[in-house]
Amino acid sequence: MYRNGEKCPICGGGKLRKKTAKVSFDYKGTNCVIENFVSHVCSVCKEGIPDPCTLKRADKLLVNHRRKVDRLLTPDEIKSIRASLKMSQAELARELCVAKKTFTRYENGTVAQSRLADAYLRSLRLCPALLEHVKEDRESAPKYHINGRNVWSGEVMYDYVYQRASTNLPNRGREANGQAA
């Protein structure tokens, strides 16, 4: 962390001054405002160095803003789906073909899931039986070998989930959850 009066690490000629401001970010025509954005600005080159704590807070706010704009599941919704499936983070991460750390970040809100992962999670929420269908079909699906492991390709997963969802799963899922078809 930098302090007032420290030498600028960029130009070496100026001194840093702490500055707090309201910063605005645009995403797909929507605006996300971050209050109290702390940075250290050089008196000579005028470069700003964001405060690490502010960056962490801003990243989380921006990820949540992106989720809202893109209509992705929230971290709480993802946790709820996982709990209803009675799966650990590692198990559901493996099912989504992502690393456990990545899945943990979905649930703690520091990373937004892909639209593919979001669609698959929504499908599992509507019809948990899809999980068993996918596991059965995975055995015969094309696999890629990465770091000595068999990996079911995301493209295969995408085709499979949407093919199943477009034929019969959404209706069964809605009926199973007591929703009108």
Last residue of a domain, one of 70, 86, 114: 70
- Which pLDDT score is estimated for 168? 47
Which tens digit of pLDDT belongs to each residue from 53-75? 999 999 999 999 999 999 999 99
66 and 79 housed in the same domain: no
54 and 138 housed in the same domain: no
Nearest to 157 by CA among 168, 165, 167: 165
100 and 157 housed in the same domain: yes
Between CA 15 and CA 42 the distance in angstroms is: 5
Between CA 114 and CA 157 the distance in angstroms is: 13
- Which pLDDT score is estimated for 178? 45
Which tens digit of pLDDT belongs to each residue from 71-109? 999 999 999 999 999 999 999 998 888 899 999 999 999
104 and 55 housed in the same domain: no
From the number of C-beta atoms within 10 Å of its C-beta (0-12, 13-18, 19+), residue 46 rates as exposed
83 and 171 housed in the same domain: yes
Expressed as residue numbers, the domain containing 41 is 16-70
Phi, psi of 151 (to 5 degrees): -125, 130
Residue 167 covered by a domain: yes
Nearest to 75 by CA among 34, 105, 117: 105
* pLDDT at 166 > cutoff 70: no
* pLDDT at 6 > cutoff 80: yes
Write out the H or E segment, with its range, that includes residue 38. strand 30-42
CA distances from 98 to 2, 76, 164 (A): 36, 19, 21
144 and 94 housed in the same domain: yes
In our burial notation (b when 16+ CB lie closer than 10 A, e otherwise), range 4-24 reads: eeeebeeeeebebbeeeeeee
Question: Where residue 131 falls among pLDDT bands split at 50, 70, 90?
Answer: confident
Question: What's the structural domain count of the chain?
Answer: 2
Tell me which amino acid residue 146 is. Answer: I
Residue 1 covered by a domain: no
